[in-house]
């Protein structure tokens, strides 16, 4: 499908390129003539573009129209994944001394993208930074450099380049900068440097007060340090700023309440959660507390299924139901257990998160979507069953 589309794009491009070259240099012995154009188009659409590249190089000189056609063709090759051919075209353009400055800069930027696509990050970075320093393609060049630093996990450089993008573009990058600080905090946490991790997480929260990740990270760091009350404050802040993240905080808040002995605070949180979120998780959490107290939960779970039907609550209800004397006497305990097992298995394979930008649906939380590379676009999926 992609090859067919590429061929259709190349067909008019070949005619336009031949027209531009022959129009600009009708007396050049090495110009592309209408006769050569037929063969050129044939090579383009037959997936044999090497002779096309040779034909394009025949023109001793090049006007703006022809250069633009070269740039378009190079861009098409890169998007098709034929980076070597894109590099050939753009390097050939830059080797021409008579290329107008604006087209030379465009070719340089295209070449930087070619190098990036080819994995030659140093070359892509060098060209992009040079263009930005000259005030040419400043924002897209800096954005490309930022992407390179992200891929290399060079978060400090990514922060610095994002500051430059802010200045050049006049647009805040605080949200993504906060994510970079969180990445640095996670690295410090991994090497057991709790003080540095806490400082970096606080810088992330200061950079972007709405950053959910920063609050969750601060909560986890404070909890690990034995500061249950302080940890609970950050977990609650994360939930209040985006109730969709209830699955990420409900269990940590239970642990904090257990450590601090403040069960009332946890119960109040569950009440707030039922008001702020459609999730069935508060029902499940309250049922667990009731069972710990030796209370019967079958009726409570049944009511919860009516108001907030969710797979986890349904599985819990079936587990309780299969031990009920009446169910056992009727021989329905094994069917109930089988259904519960099937639901649990379904829960183990069902996506738990979804990226709002591209729809990628993983089972673990990614702060940068692996598919579209956007930051902070992946959120938990509501567990309530839709009718």
Domain extents in the chain: 2-169, 214-276, 278-349, 351-387
pLDDT given at position 179: 99
SS3 1: coil
How far are the Cα atoms of 51, 161, 262, 263, 282 from residue 268, in angstroms, in the given order?
74, 44, 10, 9, 11
pLDDT given at position 281: 95
Class at the top of the CATH hierarchy for domain 214-276: mainly alpha
Distance CA 378, CA 371 (A): 11
Task: Show pLDDT as tens, one digit a residue, over the chain (387 residues).
Answer: 445 444 444 444 454 444 444 444 444 444 444 444 444 444 554 556 666 666 565 554 556 777 888 898 898 999 999 999 999 999 999 998 888 999 999 999 999 999 999 999 999 999 999 999 999 999 999 999 999 999 999 999 999 999 999 999 999 999 999 999 999 999 999 999 999 999 999 999 999 999 999 999 999 999 999 999 999 999 999 999 999 999 999 999 999 999 999 999 999 999 999 999 999 999 999 999 999 888 988 999 999 988 888 888 888 888 888 878 776 777 787 887 888 888 888 888 899 999 999 999 999 999 999 999 999 999 999 877 765
2-169 and 214-276 share one CATH topology?
yes
Name 377's Cβ contacts closer than 8 Å, sequence gap at least 6: 355, 356, 357, 358, 369
Residue 81 backbone class (left: φ over 0; alpha: ψ -120 to 50; beta: rest):
left
pLDDT given at position 61: 56
Is residue 369 marked as binding?
Answer: yes
Does the pTM surpass 0.85? The reply is no
CATH number, domain 2-169, options 3.40.470.10, 1.25.40.10, 1.20.140.10, 3.30.70.920:
1.25.40.10
Tokens of 316: 């819990």
Distance CA 332, CA 337 (A): 9
Is residue 182 marked as binding?
Answer: no
Is residue 211 marked as binding?
Answer: no
Q: Are 210 and 241 in contact (CB under 8 A)?
A: yes
């Amino acid at each position: 499908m992609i090859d067919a589309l590429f061929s259709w794009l190349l067909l008019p491009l070949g005619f336009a390129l031949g027209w531009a070259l022959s129009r600009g240099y009708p007396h050049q012995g090495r110009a592309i003539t209408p006769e050569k154009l037929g063969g050129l188009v044939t090579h383009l659409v037959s997936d044999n573009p090497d002779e096309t590249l040779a034909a394009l190089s025949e023109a001793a000189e090049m006007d703006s129209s022809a250069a633009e056609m070269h740039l378009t063709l190079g861009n098409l090759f890169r998007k098709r994944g034929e980076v070597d051919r894109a590099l050939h075209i753009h390097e050939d353009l830059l080797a021409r001394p008579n290329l107008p400055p604006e087209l030379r800069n465009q070719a340089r930027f295209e070449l930087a993208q070619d190098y990036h696509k080819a994995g030659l990050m140093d070359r892509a970075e060098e060209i992009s930074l040079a263009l930005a320093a000259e005030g040419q393609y400043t924002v897209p060049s800096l954005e490309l450099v930022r992407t390179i630093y992200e891929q290399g996990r060079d978060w400090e450089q990514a922060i610095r380049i994002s500051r430059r993008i802010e200045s050049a573009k006049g647009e805040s990058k605080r949200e993504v900068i906060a994510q970079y600080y969180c990445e640095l905090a996670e690295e410090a946490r991994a090497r057991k440097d709790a003080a540095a991790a806490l400082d970096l997480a606080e810088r992330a929260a200061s950079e972007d007060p709405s950053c959910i990740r920063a609050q969750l990270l601060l909560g986890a760091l404070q909890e690990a340090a034995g500061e249950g009350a302080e940890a609970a404050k950050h977990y609650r802040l994360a939930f209040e700023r985006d109730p969709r993240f209830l699955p990420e905080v409900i269990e940590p808040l239970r642990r904090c309440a257990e450590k601090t002995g403040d069960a009332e605070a946890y119960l109040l949180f569950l009440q707030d959660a039922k008001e702020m979120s459609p999730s069935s998780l508060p029902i499940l959490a309250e049922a667990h507390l009731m069972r710990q107290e030796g209370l019967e939960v079958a009726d409570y779970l049944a009511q919860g299924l009516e108001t907030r039907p969710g797979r986890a609550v349904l599985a819990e209800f079936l587990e309780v139901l299969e031990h009920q004397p009446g169910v056992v006497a009727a021989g329905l305990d094994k069917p109930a257990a089988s259904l519960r097992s099937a639901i649990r298995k379904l829960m183990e394979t069902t996506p738990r998160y979804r990226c709002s930008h591209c729809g990628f649906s993983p089972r673990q939380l990614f702060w940068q979507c692996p598919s579209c590379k956007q930051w902070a676009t992946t959120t938990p999926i509501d567990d309530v069953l839709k009718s």
